[in-house]
């Protein structure tokens, strides 16, 4: 609790993953991937309740072993490759409201960004409260400026791939650009409950460094996280 406001933390971890099989409980430096997010949440010591939404008995058991509540299993139709996270969030909030109460704020979080810290979590909530924002989402600076990124036509032609405005500029001359990094989403309860488009709200960015912004979706992402985290331990 902070400033007399109640905060629920909701972690989403489904079983299916095409990019990396069983990634949420895959061993990373001797611990299941999910452990690192649980650790960061617990170290923040700010949440009134911390629950895990999953469709998997195996993931649920791992979550319980590390001290997370798993009061229900998510319906399979909300845990498919084409399922929308907001639907799983609403399902969880309906369950919580029915069996517990409505909280002031909700932090929803994924295990797939294991380098986020308790400080990141607290900073996101701090921005939310200071600005009385509807929502805060974490971002990081992009590896390459968006001005050098485009779609390719069917014939792979690069004609006009980069706008003439930016062709003769060095990277240092271009404005910084940012991407959603998948680390932190925190909002007023009703924003998650009723709104599908989070960017139509009074939403602000929390900027995280790139080295803590690895979002694991593939074997390469996993190995990169492993290398960074192993180096941090040294």
CATH number for the domain harbouring residue 55: 3.90.550.10
Output the DSSP codes for 178-234.
Answer: EEEEEEEEEEEHHHHHH-S-GGGSSEEEEE--GGG-----SHHHHHHHHHHHHHHH-
2 within a domain of the structure (yes/no): no
**pLDDT for 191-222, tens place per residue?**
999 987 788 889 999 999 999 999 999 999 99
pLDDT confidence of residue 234:
55
Give the pTM. 0.91
Q: Which helix (H) or strand (E) holds 135?
A: strand 135-141
Is the domain of 97 the same as that of 199?
yes
pLDDT for 152-176, tens place per residue?
Answer: 999 999 999 999 988 888 888 898 9
> What CA–CA distance (Å, rounded) separates 215 from 183?
8
Is 122 among the domain residues?
A: yes
Residue 11 lies in a domain: yes
111 lies in some domain: yes
The reply to whether 1 falls in a domain is: no
pLDDT tens, position by position, 117-141: 999 999 999 999 999 999 999 999 9
Domain count, the chain: 2
> What confidence score (pLDDT) does residue 71 get?
97
The token pair that represents 208 in the structure block: 């995280």
In Å, what is the CA distance from 219 to each residue of 21, 120, 186, 216?
9, 25, 28, 8
Q: Do residues 118 and 63 share a domain?
A: yes
Q: Tens of pLDDT along 35-80?
A: 999 999 999 999 999 999 999 999 999 999 999 999 999 988 888 8
By residue range, what is the domain housing residue 160?
A: 143-176
């Amino acid at each position: 609790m902070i400033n007399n406001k109640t905060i629920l933390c909701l972690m989403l971890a489904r079983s299916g993953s095409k990019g990396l099989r069983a990634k949420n409980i895959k061993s990373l430096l001797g611990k299941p991937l999910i452990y690192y997010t649980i650790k960061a949440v617990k170290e923040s010591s700010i949440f009134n309740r911390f629950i895990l939404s999953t469709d998997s008995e195996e993931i649920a058991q791992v979550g319980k072993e590390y001290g997370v509540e798993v009061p229900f299993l998510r319906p399979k139709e909300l845990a498919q490759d084409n399922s929308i996270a907001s639907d799983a969030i609403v399902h969880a909030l309906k369950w919580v409201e029915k069996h517990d109460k409505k909280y002031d704020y909700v932090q929803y979080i994924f295990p797939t960004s294991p380098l986020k810290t308790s400080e990141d979590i607290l900073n996101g909530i701090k921005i939310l409260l200071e600005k009385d924002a509807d929502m805060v989402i974490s971002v990081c600076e992009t590896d390459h400026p968006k001005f050098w990124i485009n779609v390719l036509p069917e014939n792979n032609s690069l004609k006009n791939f980069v706008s003439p405005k930016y062709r003769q500029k060095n990277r240092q001359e271009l404005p910084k650009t940012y991407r959603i990094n998948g680390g932190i989403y925190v909002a007023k309860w009703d924003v998650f409950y009723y709104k599908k488009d989070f960017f139509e709200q009074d939403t602000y960015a929390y900027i995280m460094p790139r080295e803590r912004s690895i979002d694991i979706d593939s074997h390469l992402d996993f190995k990169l996280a492993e290398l960074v985290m192993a180096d941090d331990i040294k």
